[in-house]
C-alpha cells in the first residue's frame, strides 16, 4: 500500500504526508470476476485483520473465533 501511495502522489504531484487512504471492501472473492481496473486506486487481495475476522455475508468485522488465527 505504501508503494501505491507513493506512485499516486508522484503521478498527481501531491505530498505523500498529506495523502489520505480510503479503503473499501468489495464482494469480489475471485480476481477473474473484477470487471475492470479502477480509474484511481487498486484492488488488493490477501489482506488480513489481526484479532478479528470479516463476515463476507454481512460485510461487517466480527470477533475472532477462538483458536483460529487465519
> What is the C-alpha separation between 9 and 15, in angstroms, rounded?
6
Tracing cell 502522489 back to the chain, one arrives at 9
> What is the C-alpha separation between 59 and 26, in angstroms, rounded?
9
Q: Mind listing the pLDDT tens digit for each residue in 13-68?
A: 999 999 988 888 888 888 898 999 888 788 888 888 888 998 889 999 999 999 88
| pTM, rounded to two decimals | 0.63
Which residue in 58, 5, 53 sits closest to 27, CA to CA? 58
Tell me what the mean pLDDT of segment 5-20 comes to: 91
Q: Which residues pair with 52 in a beta bridge?
A: 63
- Tell me what pLDDT residue 39 has: 84
> What is the C-alpha separation between 17 and 25, in angstroms, rounded?
24
Q: Which residues pair with 55 in a beta bridge?
A: 60
Amino acid at each position: 500500500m505504501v508503494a501505491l501511495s507513493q506512485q499516486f502522489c508522484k503521478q498527481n504531484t501531491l505530498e505523500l504526508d498529506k495523502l489520505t487512504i480510503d479503503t473499501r471492501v468489495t464482494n469480489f472473492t475471485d480476481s477473474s470476476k473484477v470487471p475492470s481496473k479502477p480509474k484511481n486506486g487498486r484492488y488488493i487481495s490477501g489482506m488480513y485483520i489481526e484479532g478479528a475476522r470479516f463476515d463476507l455475508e454481512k460485510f461487517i468485522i466480527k470477533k475472532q473465533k477462538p483458536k483460529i488465527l487465519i
